Structure 1
Amino acid sequence: MTVKKKEIVIIVVNATAIYSFLLIDIAAGSGLYMTAKLLGAGIIIASVCSMAGVEGIKRGPKFVRNVRQMRK
């Protein structure tokens, strides 16, 4: 009978990644959803606005940097 070795996997997550997720994804997503709902949008439209807004917040600064570098 052989003894099987068990491996332990340790995953390290930066605190900035957790903070970014909490702040951007949850807080901004909820805020954008509620704003769209208050403006009279339906559930589906508000959900799409929330998803698109969060992705815009995440990718916006990188896009602006790339555009500025292209103009130089």
Structure 2
Amino acid sequence: MSAKKREIVIIVVKATAIYSFVVIDIAAGTGFYMTAKLFDAGVIIASICSMAGVESLKRGPALVRNLTNRERKT
């Protein structure tokens, strides 16, 4: 009888990554979706607004930082 080797894979996720996902993606995404639905948008438009809003929250600060640094250098 041969013993099978079983490997255990442990994945470590930082708590800040989980918090960021919960707060930004779920809470803010729901907020953007509900706001779009409040203005009588369809489901597809509200979903697009939700995705675009969350991505702008994620990438917006870096974009503003890059724009302000370019203006200072010139």
Q: Give the TM-score of the pair, scaled to structure 1.
A: 0.91
Give 1:2 shift: 3.4
Instruction: Kindly report structure 1 stretches of 4+ aligned residues shifted beyond 3 Å.
Output: none
- Structure 2 residues not aligned, in runs of 5+: none
- Structure 1 residues not aligned, in runs of 5+: none
- CA RMSD for the aligned pairs? 1.1
Give 1:55 shift: 0.4
Q: Give the TM-score of the pair, scaled to structure 2.
A: 0.89
AA at the equivalent of 1:59: R
Q: Which residue does the alignment assign to 1:45?
A: 45
Query: How many residue pairs were aligned?
Result: 72
Q: Which residue does the alignment assign to 2:10?
A: 10
Q: Distance in 1 between matches of 2:67 and 2:10?
A: 39
Q: Distance in 1 between matches of 2:3 and 2:68?
A: 60
**Alignment of structure 1 residues 18-37 onto 2, 5 Å:** 18-37=18-37
33-42 vs 3-12, which moves further? 3-12
